[in-house]
Chains A and B, each alone.
Chain A
Amino acid sequence: MLKLENIEVVYDHVFLAIKGISLEVAEGGAVALLGSNGAGKSTTLKAISGLLAPERGEVTRGEVLFKGRDFKRLSAPERVRLGIVHVLEGRHVFGHLTPLENLIAATSMHRSRAKIDGLVEKVLTYFPRLKQRINAKAGYLSGGEQQMLAIGRALMTEPKLLMLDEPSLGLAPLLVEEIFEIIARVNRETRMSVLLVEQNATAALSIVEHAYLIENGRIVMSGSADTMRSNPDVQEFYLGGAGRVDYRNVKHYRRRKRWLA
């Protein structure tokens, strides 16, 4: 359904952040994009959602296809209408709005009142925690609640492809599990595709079928979730837990991969 073909992304007309990435997400599929800080994961998602423009970024090469159609020229809101939604890194809830208003703000593509009410109802059954804080200011919700709100808000657009940028960032493991379970459930129940960006590879690999590993703006490895999990390099550097990462080796690993590529 979504297909990137050898895309390059340049920031400020000079900085080449993505150096030829190809990837694919099938209809109803769940795919993870793994990699360390600065690898180009967020940039890849922005290239898909159209949020590069406000940051003076541009796709300078390659094709961005959704259902076989190149949509590079469409604005971000038009892509949301196509069914592509992007939950930004760092949640970005509308802090001065209530959770309910946050959800309402994401309904510009819907016409009927009844439909919107139905969607709010559905999102609140996915995230019952939000119900208790529905009239608080969203800025005062906890990190986990804000993440749930950001995902719920994205679901209000009735996406065919949900892209999540590091939803586990800064959250306690139990919360991460809760959120990932809900994502997996929506993916299963509605056949909405998921493209999940994570540094937390363990959590991500538990809910996707396929994963790509990205380093330095390039895909350095890809395979089924099981293959990735059992790969010794992935195990060593991405599944070892943050405390055990040996940066000298990470650098070496990157050097080797670049050399191979």
Chain B
Amino acid sequence: MDLFFELAELSISGALVGLMYTLIALGIVLVFKASGVANLAQGAMAMVGAYLTWACLTLAGAPLWVAIPLGVFAMFFVGRGIERVALRRMIGQPAIMVIMLTLGLEIMLRGLLPALFGPVKKRLDIGIDAAPIIIGPMLIDRAYLVSGAVALILIVLAVLYFNTRQGVMLRAVSDDQPASWSVGISVERAIGISWGLAGIAAAAGGVLWGSIQGVDWTLSLLLIKALAVAILGGLDSILGVLVAGLILGVLENVAPVYLERFGVSGTRDVVASLVILATVIFKPYGLFGREEIERV
């Protein structure tokens, strides 16, 4: 096949996966902005959301249009619950304790869910036709296309949400906590909501990716991808996370194919870690890190 089309095909499916990464990474960025906490439980929340959806679908026999919203929105309450039960007690504790706590949650959930539902990989069929879409000489996987489109819609919804009154208050909290308190915003509640929304973003990403690769503990490895995207995007603007997601998605899909021709194999999973390392070393505030407004 023509080299150009090969590259285009790889880039397009990479970009579609990248949108899903962006969606999950939004949850990390949101929690970080609201409370300054690194949410390292985001991968596990994606996995839990996928398991819940699978359970509604397969164990409870609910139809798709019930199971997916139920599984995803249940994660809103799981996210809020995690904040309420675990994180709120950590206020005033050193940052490292909070990091250990979210990481501990991640590891615990990774073990707990497969223990509950059995270790075998579950098939999560969300009714997407397996036949690829053919655009000229390129084949695009329909599941990727749907996943990318759904992720993009949710990202747009997030942008719209941030311009609602509640969204403005959430941004206010991320800007200045004492000032937020002083004008009547309940900072604790805002942080709780940010965790709830992180849960929704994670679950939606988990269901999308789970429908492609199946549901088991490996879904929680999405944490690494989301973390790479959040760090590369600069933990700040949605635009930054979007661009970073696309970059990681494309890079991950394109780089291994070409490297393999030079005899380097198995690089796919290394890309995200390399992105994290390179960003932290060379551009610690990411591509779109926040400009601090100095003027007083």
Q: Is the CB of A105 within 8 A of B169?
A: yes
Of A57-65, A91-99, A172-180, the stretch lying at the interface with chain B is: A91-99
- State whether A77 and B179 are in contact (beta carbons under 8 Å apart), knowing that A105-B168, A137-B293, A139-B293 are contacts in the complex: no
One of B168, B169, B184, B295 near A157 (C-beta < 8 A): B184
Q: Within 8 Å of chain A (Cβ to Cβ): is B93?
A: no
Q: Within 8 Å of chain B (Cβ to Cβ): is A104?
A: yes
Within residues 22 to 50 of chain A, which ones have a CB less than 8 A from any CB in chain B? 49-50
Q: Is the CB of A92 within 8 A of B293?
A: no
Q: Is the CB of B165 within 8 A of A107?
A: yes
How far does the Cβ of B177 sit from chain A's closest Cβ, in whole Å? 7
One of B181, B290, B296 near A76 (C-beta < 8 A): B181
Q: Within 8 Å of chain B (Cβ to Cβ): is A154?
A: yes
Q: Is the CB of B184 within 8 A of A81?
A: yes
Q: Is the CB of B178 within 8 A of A51?
A: yes
* A153, B182: Cα distance in complex, Å: 10
Q: Is the CB of B179 within 8 A of A97?
A: no
* A86, B244: Cα distance in complex, Å: 40
Q: Within 8 Å of chain A (Cβ to Cβ): is B176?
A: yes
Contacts of A51 in B (CB 8 A): 178, 181-182
Which secondary structure characterizes the binding site on chain B? helix
Q: Within 8 Å of chain A (Cβ to Cβ): is B218?
A: no
Q: Is the CB of A139 within 8 A of B184?
A: no
Contacts of B186 in A (CB 8 A): 75, 77, 108
Q: Is the CB of B184 within 8 A of A96?
A: no
What residue in chain B is nearest A76 (Cβ atoms)? B181
* A108, B171: Cα distance in complex, Å: 13
Q: Is the CB of B182 within 8 A of A76?
A: yes
What residue in chain B is nearest A105 (Cβ atoms)? B172
Q: Within 8 Å of chain A (Cβ to Cβ): is B279?
A: no
Q: Within 8 Å of chain B (Cβ to Cβ): is A197?
A: no
* A109, B165: Cα distance in complex, Å: 12
Q: Is the CB of B293 within 8 A of A96?
A: yes
Q: Within 8 Å of chain A (Cβ to Cβ): is B56?
A: no
Size bracket of the A interface: 35 or more
Q: Within 8 Å of chain B (Cβ to Cβ): is A123?
A: no
Contacts of A80 in B (CB 8 A): 182-184
- 1/0 contact trace for B257-296 toward A, CB 8 Å? 0000000000000000000000000000000001001011
Q: Within 8 Å of chain A (Cβ to Cβ): is B58?
A: no
How far does the Cβ of A78 sit from chain B's closest Cβ, in whole Å? 9
Within residues 157 to 171 of chain A, which ones have a CB less than 8 A from any CB in chain B? 157, 170
Contacts of B180 in A (CB 8 A): 105
Q: Within 8 Å of chain B (Cβ to Cβ): is A143?
A: yes
What residue in chain B is nearest A139 (Cβ atoms)? B293
One of B176, B185, B293, B296 near A108 (C-beta < 8 A): B185
What residue in chain A is nearest B183 (Cβ atoms)? A106
* A94, B171: Cα distance in complex, Å: 9
Q: Is the CB of B176 within 8 A of A94?
A: yes
* A190, B56: Cα distance in complex, Å: 57
Give 14 new A-B contacts, CB below 8 A, not counting A85-B184, A87-B182.
A51-B178, A76-B181, A76-B182, A77-B181, A77-B184, A86-B182, A96-B175, A101-B168, A102-B172, A104-B165, A104-B168, A109-B184, A139-B295, A146-B296
Closest 4 CB pairs of A and B: A139-B293, A80-B184, A106-B183, A92-B179
